[in-house]
Amino acid sequence: MNLQTDFTVSFEKEIRGKVEELSRDLEGDLELQLDVQFELESHLWESYDANIVRGMSEEESSEQAFKDFGALSEVKERLLAGNLKRLNKRAQVKAMLWYVFVPLSIFTALFFGGREYFELSRELPQSALDPKIVKLRQLENDFSDELYQELSQQMPNNAYLDSLWLGKHLEKSVNREMAEVSSEEEFAKLMQKMQEMVKKTDFDALRLEEMQVYQNFGRKSFIKSIKDVGHAAAFILPDLGSLRNFGKAVVKRGKVNEIRLLEKICRQRLENSDTLIEVLVIGALGRIYTENKSLMENPELAKSSGFFSRCSQVIAGWKEKKKVGDKEFEKIFMEKSSMLASMVIPAVGTIEEMTKPKFFKESREMEYNFFEKYYFSLLNSIGFIIMLGLIAFLAWHKLIKGQKQSLQLYSMCEWLLHWAKFILVPLVAYQIYKFLPFASINWSIKETLVLYSIELLTLTFLLFILSSWSLFCKYSKKLIIFDLADKKSLHKFKVSLLTVCLVLPISLVTVALCIQVLQEAALSEIVQMVFSINPVIFSGWFYVIFAFFALLIMLLKWLKASSIALCSLAQGQLINLAFLSLSLSIYSFIYLGYLESENAKNDRLIISKSSFTSVEEKVTKNLKKSMLNK
């Protein structure tokens, strides 16, 4: 433009006055009004400069520029008519973003978060169980002859009830510490009851029925699987201790008819056993029996001796195999297993299927789905808090400082493009990355803790930092054009922001490496994993990210910019976070929740009909088969 002479300064003021008057009808949309003012000013100055080039004086150039521009009233009408459609459209976009989209993102995050909390806190009501199951559990916890008689009438062929009766009445006839009969009369009654028990066709603690009710209750998930395992593992087996004491007393007495009855009881229990502990108790009785040489050498007890000897040998062989281990399996277990597997497998041993890496796939991926779901939901919570802070900032400027206008610098198409580039693309790319063989999800989380932390950190950086940075840069350009912010001040702010963006990932990688060092310390695996991943890494990330946005708000406050500029930047970041919040809610709670549920349904480690894991069920089945010589 021209050198700033006294006339050009006067001409500039005249242009500004006319342009403000012409655009007064567009003040409902501040950005549109500023856009139109900028275009009108540019047009008038271009006309003025062209007239100067033709040889006109400054006064003649200004008069001709206004003359070419047209009558003020006519131009004003044309401006309003030409921009009315644009004005209405932009008003609709702004209203939709402010009054629909932002509340929708907040509601969605709260709804899914509340639903998840409700799912986790739900407990199966006792009314959902069969009354017989409830009464049977009462009998296990507190035996009474009245309840026993009631259940015996309902389940007359169930020998499990008699095994509970044995536990209650054994102390009347057997000294537990000495394993000796203290009352022959009471012991005779007990033997008579056991004779009746072995004739019954059923031996059912109704555990299968109860587990099915619990497994069908609620949505399948990682936490649900742990609850189901915990419930199955918590089943009370009060009759096992009594059976062991009864067997020790019978073996010590050494009477042929009593030994044969004990064999029948053990066979009946073994054939109907669902859990490993039941098989181990029978194996322990077998070991006690084989240590009695007189019984082993008695020809009348050849069949019983063969049975108890086989039981003892099978369990001893299984324990020895557990000690020796399988190097190939140990390698697969270390590299491919899940945290849940590390809790249950060492106690029950291995099965053939576990030597295949795919055995742990669903269990391992379910854990990754769980951690990611809660990582992104907690990350979403941080974004939600920042959104509330931005809303409070805008409300303060509007109510206290009286700044009711702000610039909506992006159109809906631009917002959708921004969402696609900086939110949708990173999430889709992350999902594609998971299919690569070196991605952490294909390996045990214990083995790839640092890599997994870096993966999440990178995605977090792209979603939060890069999207905010890009938005700020684009907003800054328009604010400078509209002369609403100081260019040097914005440049200094960008440099500070870029420094934080570079320092943030380095600090988080350092945290992850420190956690890896902690992982190698002598801490309990499961406690350490839950403790280190959740509060140290995850919460540490959240605090750093929260600090970043807090610093961003403070830096905005120090900017040499008008209230309109500050409110515009805050409004832009609020909408950006609304897009991010809605996307993360859908990604974490719907998509990852679906994957977690499907992996829980197909988890070969957990799926079991009667035992608390499929591994225990198969180990128990194999041991039973060998002990019964089937």
3-state secondary structure 357-394: HHHHHHHHHHHHHHHHHHHHHHHHHHHHHHHHHHHHHH
In this predicted structure, the answer to whether residue 8 has a pLDDT above a threshold of 90 is: no
Q: Is residue 31 in some structural domain?
A: yes
pLDDT at site 604: 77
Residue with the bigger pLDDT between 329 and 56: it is 56
What average pLDDT does the segment 70-91 reach? 52
pLDDT at site 288: 92
Q: Is the CB of residue 508 less than 8 Å from the CB of residue 457?
A: yes
Highest mean predicted confidence (pLDDT) among 85-99, 104-118, 323-337, 480-494: 104-118
Number of domains observed in the structure of the chain: 3
Out of 51, 75, 107, a domain closes at 107
Q: pLDDT band at 614, cuts 50/70/90?
A: confident
Same domain? 483 vs 537: yes
**Nearest CA-CA partner of 574 in 605, 599, 553, 597:** 553
What average pLDDT does the segment 53-61 reach? 74
Question: What residues contact 583, with CB distance under 8 A and at least 6 apart?
Answer: 419, 423, 424, 427
Q: pLDDT band at 368, cuts 50/70/90?
A: very high
Q: pLDDT band at 122, cuts 50/70/90?
A: confident
Same domain? 292 vs 381: no
Q: pLDDT band at 229, cuts 50/70/90?
A: confident
Same domain? 467 vs 595: yes
Same domain? 473 vs 381: yes
Q: Is the CB of residue 279 less than 8 Å from the CB of residue 627?
A: yes
Q: Is residue 122 in some structural domain?
A: no
Same domain? 345 vs 377: no
| Least confident range of 308-317, 394-403, 453-462 | 394-403
In this predicted structure, the answer to whether residue 256 has a pLDDT above a threshold of 50 is: yes
Residue with the bigger pLDDT between 192 and 38: it is 192
- How many CA atoms lie within 13 Å of 438's alpha carbon, on the beta-carbon side? 2
Residue with the bigger pLDDT between 603 and 512: it is 603
What average pLDDT does the segment 168-189 reach? 82
Same domain? 298 vs 334: yes
Residue 138 has which token pair? 């009462």
What average pLDDT does the segment 63-87 reach? 56
In the chain, how many H helices and how many E strands?
29, 2
In this predicted structure, the answer to whether residue 395 has a pLDDT above a threshold of 70 is: yes
Residue with the bigger pLDDT between 500 and 203: it is 203
Same domain? 311 vs 381: no
Percent of the chain with pLDDT over 90: 17
Q: Give long-range contacts, CB 8 A cutoff, 24+ apart: 129-135.
A: 129/210, 129/213, 130/206, 130/209, 130/213, 132/206, 133/206, 133/209, 133/210
Same domain? 340 vs 378: no
Same domain? 324 vs 376: no
Q: Is residue 413 in some structural domain?
A: yes
pLDDT at site 498: 65
Out of 74, 107, 140, a domain closes at 107
Q: Is residue 190 in some structural domain?
A: yes
Q: Is residue 612 in some structural domain?
A: no
What is the tens place of the pLDDT at every residue in 427-446? 999 999 999 988 999 888 88
Q: What is the torsional sign of CA 565, 567, 570, 575?
A: negative
Q: pLDDT band at 530, cuts 50/70/90?
A: very low
- Main-chain dihedrals φ then ψ at residue 611, nearest 5 degrees: -85, 175
Q: Is residue 390 in some structural domain?
A: yes
Same domain? 229 vs 377: no
Same domain? 201 vs 295: yes
Percent of the chain with pLDDT over 70: 69
Same domain? 455 vs 577: yes
| Least confident range of 115-119, 393-397, 553-557 | 553-557
In this predicted structure, the answer to whether residue 271 has a pLDDT above a threshold of 70 is: yes
Q: Is the CB of residue 36 less than 8 Å from the CB of residue 79?
A: yes
Q: Give the whole-angstrom CA distance, residue 55 versus residue 48.
A: 11
pLDDT at site 175: 80
Q: Is residue 149 in some structural domain?
A: no
Question: What is the overall mean pLDDT for the chain?
Answer: 77
**Nearest CA-CA partner of 388 in 524, 150, 212, 550:** 550
Q: Is residue 258 in some structural domain?
A: yes
Q: pLDDT band at 419, cuts 50/70/90?
A: very high
Enclosing domain of residue 257: 155-355+620-628
